[in-house]
A and B are shown apart, each in its own frame.
Chain A
Amino acid sequence: MILIVAEHSNGKLNKSTYEMTQAARDLGREGPITLLVLGSGVAPVATQAALLADQVLVADLPALSAYDPEVWAQAVAQIAREGEAHTVLIGGSRSGREYSPRVAVKLDAPLMEAVISMKFADDTTVAEHYTLLARVVERVEAQAPTVVVSIHPGAFPPASARPQAAEQYDVDLDLPAPRVVVTERNTIKSKRVALQDADVVVAGGRGLGSAEVYAQLVEGLADQLGAAVGATRAVVDAGWRPYSEQVGQTGKTVQPKLYLALGISGAVQHLSGMNKSRLVVAINRDQEAPIFKIADYGIVGDVKEIVPAIIEKLK
């Protein structure tokens, strides 16, 4: 079977789960597409999953109420073994990329990480992924009884639901006790669309000058466009914005239809997180700023003058 570990939050499947399902449907390898739902109180999620998969496995356990990499890896490896999964698909989120290597090691399987394309033919799984700060696409092959794959967010189109719901099966798991003690968890709850799900991202850099200007311009424009808000490393390091909004090598990778970069110079680490956006618009005072090299539309000028004017015209 193809085992997909469903990603979900607040009682709903994440977009990434639909994307993984499409990757599985297009893989070209026999076997039922099986969605595994891990968590506590996840019945509504399992119901949604049933419209995507050939079968749904549900582990609804108190021990799964909070994510832990070792617990998740153990759960997924156990199910993969019992179900003789030949392909295990895991989300390319921070957590997915953190526990998927553990699953690969447990299953003695190769890991294909953050893949953007994938096919199976002639007993071989062929996949592509980015390297060198997302400047290079590398093609790799694996021949093994089981292959573990994490799926790059936004690389596959989301699968459509089917009219007929698949069967759901409860599974029991033998889980380890977490060894890391979490003493505090600060989850950012934003009213906005999630960064990786957004069609439009408005992002700001140090060029905005202060947290106040940042909030006024970046959030103001995002409000008008129904966009998600992103930030550069320098901005989150300065404490203007939370780390969850960071786009780049150490933050999130986004691929929206439109990426508006305000006061962002375009360090290679930031570009690696957004250079696959369909359309890039940049506003920056410095015409030599590297961001203009990857911009479809650029304005050389003062963000503090131009952005309020854009907001006004969009109202």
Chain B
Amino acid sequence: MGLRILSVIRQVLDAEESVRIKDGMVDPSSSKLVLDTMDEYGLEEALRIRDAQPETEVVALAVGPARCEEALRTALAIGADRAILVETFEPLDVITVGNVAAQVARKEQSDLIFCGGQEADWDSQAFGAAIAEYLNWPQLTWTTALNLEGRTLTGTHDIDEGTESFSVELPAVITTQQGLCEPRYPTLPNIMKARKKELRRESFESFGLHSRLKFIRSEIQVKERMRRIVDGKDGSAAAQQLVEFLRNETRVIG
């Protein structure tokens, strides 16, 4: 039997979209939503493993509202074999979602899990580590290169001040980021095929869990800026003005 890879994804606001707030909560109902690019790198790594070892199965998982189906269809069009949506409208904290993903991974008998290092919706870096802890697996976060030989995964990843090369035996949770690889695009035939691929729905209620955090209020934070924009055709004069500005407005230069 080949490897079973779980690619955990989030559906997030397109980076170009502006945020809308309604009744103190982020309201994405009229915004363009996409599969988070942070998650695409992990999906791509999973597909590369399957390219080399065709008996590998790649399953995409999302935990969220029904509209996450679109992001899962994108993952299927990019190349995932099948998809699972754990449906809920309740806003959930990352530890609880990690618990759900870990339970799905156990049922699916996954060997390797990919997820984004910090998805653009909840700005959380905790997802991969939470899944790994629930499964009692090792984790590698912020990976920048990966290579699988048998069940030994080697690669590099970012640490606080620098980088590490590592080696780990599967199973493991890997978090991904831009620069790890160049994700492939869905092709038209694959988009057509994706519609027929299996997408299984499960209800969050069946997991018997509740959010550990209460979400009280969201507010858009805009810092007022002076927006003093000047022309810099005369480089020397512009430099002089800036130095004066810094001397007047900041104490960082004398």
Contact of B242 among A69, A281, A292 (CB under 8 A): A281
Q: Is the CB of A225 within 8 A of B252?
A: yes
CB neighbours (8 Å) of B223 from chain A are 275-276, 294
Residue B70 interfacial (CB < 8 Å): no
Q: Is the CB of B164 within 8 A of A182?
A: yes
Which chain B residues (139-169) contact chain A, with CB distance < 8 Å? 139-142, 144, 154, 158-169
The interface residues of chain A, by DSSP majority, are classed as mixed
CA gap between A151 and B28 in the complex, in Å: 28
List the 3 closest pairs (A to B, CB-CB), nearest first.
A301-B232, A305-B235, A309-B239
Q: Is the CB of B164 within 8 A of A113?
A: no
Given A131-B218, A134-B123, A188-B161: A297 and B245 within 8 A (CB)?
Answer: yes
With most chain B CB atoms within 10 A of its CB, the pick from A130, A187, A257, A297 is: A297
Contact of A292 among B15, B164, B227 (CB under 8 A): B227
Given A179-B169, A200-B252: A237 and B179 within 8 A (CB)?
Answer: yes
Q: Is the CB of B158 within 8 A of A297?
A: no
Q: Is the CB of B142 within 8 A of A94?
A: yes
> Contacts A73-B133, A136-B221, A310-B243 given; 7 further ones with Cβ under 8 A?
A69-B139, A94-B160, A104-B130, A132-B123, A179-B138, A244-B163, A309-B235
Q: Is the CB of B21 within 8 A of A136?
A: yes
CB neighbours (8 Å) of B61 from chain A are none
Which chain B residues (88-124) contact chain A, with CB distance < 8 Å? 93-95, 98-99, 117-118, 120-124
Residue of A nearest to B144 (CB): A243
CB neighbours (8 Å) of A313 from chain B are 239-240, 243
Residue A63 interfacial (CB < 8 Å): no
Residue A99 interfacial (CB < 8 Å): yes
Residue of A nearest to B129 (CB): A101
CA gap between A102 and B141 in the complex, in Å: 13
B residues in contact (CB < 8 Å) with A = 13, 15-16, 19, 21, 26, 38, 93-95, 98-99, 117-118, 120-127, 129-130, 132-134, 138-142, 144, 154, 158-169, 177-179, 212-221, 223, 225-233, 235-236, 238-240, 242-243, 245-246, 249-253
CB neighbours (8 Å) of A106 from chain B are 133
Q: What's the nearest-Cβ distance from chain B to residue A150, in Å?
A: 8
CB neighbours (8 Å) of B129 from chain A are 69, 98-102
CB neighbours (8 Å) of A187 from chain B are 159, 161-162
Residue of B nearest to A306 (CB): B235
CB neighbours (8 Å) of B212 from chain A are 109-111, 142, 144
Q: Is the CB of B123 within 8 A of A130?
A: yes
Given A142-B213, A296-B226, A309-B235: A95 and B160 within 8 A (CB)?
Answer: yes
Q: Is the CB of B178 within 8 A of A137?
A: no
- Tally of contact residues, A, Cβ under 8 A: 94
Q: Is the CB of A279 within 8 A of B249?
A: yes
Q: Is the CB of A243 within 8 A of B158?
A: yes
- Digit string of A272-308 for contact with B (CB within 8 Å is 1, else 0)? 1001100111010001000011111111111001110
CB neighbours (8 Å) of B99 from chain A are 105
Q: Is the CB of B167 within 8 A of A131?
A: no
Residue A60 interfacial (CB < 8 Å): no
Residue A86 interfacial (CB < 8 Å): no
Given A132-B121, A144-B212, A233-B179: A139 and B217 within 8 A (CB)?
Answer: yes
Given A141-B214, A183-B165: A314 and B253 within 8 A (CB)?
Answer: yes
CB neighbours (8 Å) of B243 from chain A are 310, 313-314
- Digit string of A12-52 for contact with B (CB within 8 Å is 1, else 0)? 00000000000000000000000000000000000000000
Contact of A137 among B139, B218, B226, B238 (CB under 8 A): B218
CA gap between A194 and B160 in the complex, in Å: 11
Residue A11 interfacial (CB < 8 Å): no
CB neighbours (8 Å) of A164 from chain B are none
Q: Is the CB of B214 within 8 A of A310?
A: no
CB neighbours (8 Å) of A99 from chain B are 129
CB neighbours (8 Å) of B166 from chain A are 180-183
Contact of A105 among B98, B141, B238 (CB under 8 A): B98
CB neighbours (8 Å) of B252 from chain A are 199-200, 225, 257-258
Q: Is the CB of B167 within 8 A of A105?
A: no
Q: Is the CB of A95 within 8 A of B159?
A: yes
Q: Is the CB of B164 within 8 A of A185?
A: yes
Q: Is the CB of A98 within 8 A of B19?
A: no
CA gap between A187 and B217 in the complex, in Å: 40
Q: Is the CB of B26 within 8 A of A136?
A: yes
Q: Is the CB of A250 within 8 A of B142?
A: yes
